[in-house]
Structure formats: structure tokens, C-alpha cells
A = this chain, B = another copy of it.
Amino acid sequence: MRDGSATREKINQAALELFARKGVAETTTRDIAGGAGIAEGTIYRHYKSKDELVRSLFLSLYSEQGELLAVQIRDESGIKEQIAVMIQLFCRLFDENRPLFTFLLLTQHGQLERVPDGIVTPVGVIREAITCAQAAGQIRKGDPDLLAAMVLGVVVQPAVFSVYGRLKQPYQDFSAELVQAAWGVLGLS
């Protein structure tokens, strides 16, 4: 039997690029098929519906990012280093694969509410690191969900503005300042 996984990957790549550039609603299944160089019907050999394609893409990419972060900070013990490492990784990945993050940013609304339990998410990883640091007395008390959301916000909102051309310098130039600000959120110098 021929292996269909290469075709599935072509669909994913084309969909990601188109979703990021035109938006999900504005991208038709014909567009995706055209971009992937396959027939429209083939999409439905791999996904039940367009909606399932979107959700599957979101979940796999979202959890993939979470796992990358988790692996990266595993060997760091201090929260300061963990934050710094995560932000540097994010900056690098954002620069290397802009469509991926644009897609995640613009589909988080509508997908965020149906993230199943047991998935490693970027916020979840940050939250865990913060909880550990609190237990070790490294940072002040406070709702870890809120602290994680704020740290994420410091990193993500500039990325959004960067995507829509409202920052003059490239995003990765700001790496050091983002780390500094994230520390500030947690009350670290």
C-alpha cells in the first residue's frame, strides 16, 4: 500500500500557510488542495471536515510548542533561567516559523475553549515552572494561572504587533527586553 502520510503533511503545510496569510474562514478547501498540489477530495481522506483539520492542526502544533518548552527548561533549576530560556526559544522559533505562530495566535479564540485535558500547553509549562518556584520560595505568592497568563502576555502581545507591522524592529531583537519584563512581572529584578 502507498503511504498517505506525506500527502497529509502536504495538506497541513499548505493549510498552515494559507490560514496564517488569509485567515481560516477566507481559506477554502479548494485553496488548500491547490496549495498542496492535490485534489480537493483527498483532504477528506485525511480529515472528516475542514473544522477537524483546523482543530487537529491547532492541537498538534500547540502541544508541540508546549513540549518543546518543557524539554528546554527541564535542566534549568532557577525560575529566572527557565523564563530566559523559554523566551529565547520562543523568539527563535517565532522567527523561524512565522506562519505557525500567526496561525496559533489567530485560532486560539475558538480553539482555546476546547483544548482537551492531558495536553501539554505553553501556558501549562509556564504555570508549572511558576508553581515550583513558588514552592521553593523563589518568587512571590499569587495565582499561578494569572502569573503564567501575564508572562505569556508580555511575550505574545509584542509578537502580535510584530506580525501586523506595528513594531519597527524585528521581534527577535527584543529578546533581552522581553526577559527583563517577564522577570519584572514575577517581581524578580
Contact = CB atoms under 8 A, between A and B. Distances in A.
Interface of A: 23-25, 105-106, 108-110, 112-113, 123, 142-143, 145-147, 149-150, 152-158, 160-161, 164-169, 174, 177-178, 180-181, 183-187
Given A145-B168, A146-B177, A150-B178, 8 more contacts: A112-B161, A142-B177, A146-B167, A153-B158, A157-B157, A181-B184, A183-B184, A184-B186
A149 B165 contact: no
14 contacts: A109-B160, A112-B160, A142-B177, A143-B169, A146-B169, A146-B174, A146-B177, A149-B158, A150-B158, A153-B156, A154-B154, A156-B157, A181-B184, A184-B187
Interface majority SS (helix, strand, loop, mixed), chain A: helix
Given A156-B153, A157-B149, A160-B108, A143 B174 contact: yes
A24 B23 CA distance: 12
A112 B164 CA distance: 7
